[in-house]
Amino acid sequence: MELSFTDPVGPADGPLLILGPSLGTSTILWESVAPALAAAHRVIAWDLPGHGASSPAVESFSVADLADAVAAAARDAGSGSIRYAGVSLGGAVGLELLLRHPALVERAAILCSGAVIGSPSAWRERAAKVRAESTSALIVASAQRWFAPGSIARHPDLTGRLLHTLQNADDESYARCCEALAEYDVRAHLREIDAPVLAVWGEHDQVTPESSAAEISDGVRDGRSVRMPAASHLAPVDAPAEVSALLDHFLTERSR
């Protein structure tokens, strides 16, 4: 599997920070947050198969496969360790990275995500809907689910571009992401994670609410959860300044 990564931003000798996307979005999800994080990190972001600049998927894959592809890219970049932050599906990839590549990941922020997300039947139904009707059929529901009240009015350009990204995603690749999430469940393995983990939840998020973040922070050995006011499922869009400050503190606190 080949994923597309942005060019690094930030000091060439800074620790590598990899930013992961939510389903239906692209690297632009992080564009209001990445510049602040690049003050102390060499920052790159990646796209899911068939999203943004990544090629469409040609076969089925799992969330673990996505984690392996991210780990391989980090090692190809010459990094022996990384820091990671991901939203929703990108957060699930972060948990799989922590489990499958523990020596690689120093610490990870898991935003608006969970050790399991939704139900297998719901994900399979969405995959079937997209194959039958395309991702365009998801635009209205996604706008309601992704953004906190007033966020579209506050950030019209970015929210509009993200919805266009969803519309332009490859339908089959999106459906295969849904099927990967239908099989994803790492709840029984959280206690195996030693690295520090920050679980962030948005107060308006109905997809992965406080209970999802608490399950992560309580399940890992070194975890904490934080509520993000005025945010829904895409916290870096709803509350970019607050997310930037929170992640900068968490990612660098033991390096200061």
* pLDDT at residue 45, as a whole number: 98
Domain boundaries, the chain: 4-252
* pLDDT at residue 253, as a whole number: 82
* pLDDT at residue 80, as a whole number: 87
pLDDT in tens, the chain (256 residues): 789 999 999 999 999 999 999 999 999 999 999 999 999 999 999 999 999 999 999 999 999 999 999 999 999 988 889 999 999 999 999 999 999 999 999 999 999 999 999 999 999 999 999 999 999 999 999 999 999 999 999 999 999 999 999 999 999 999 999 999 999 999 999 999 999 999 999 999 999 999 999 999 999 999 999 999 999 999 999 999 999 999 999 999 864 3
3-state SS track over the chain: CCCEECCCECCCCCCEEEEECCCCCCHHHHCCCHHHHCCCCEEEEEECCCCCCCCCCCCCCCHHHHHHHHHHHHHHCCCCCEEEEEECHHHHHHHHHHHHCCCCEEEEEEECCCCCCCCHHHHHHHHHHHHHHCHHHHHHHHHHHHCCCCHHHHCHHHHHHHHHHHHHCCHHHHHHHHHHHHHCCCHHHHHHCCCCEEEEEECCCCCCCHHHHHHHHHHCCCEEEEEECCCCCCHHHHCHHHHHHHHHHHHHCCCC
| 4-252 is classed CATH 3.40.50.300 | no
* pLDDT at residue 79, as a whole number: 81
* pLDDT at residue 254, as a whole number: 63
Pair of tokens at residue 145 = 């689910």
* pLDDT at residue 154, as a whole number: 94
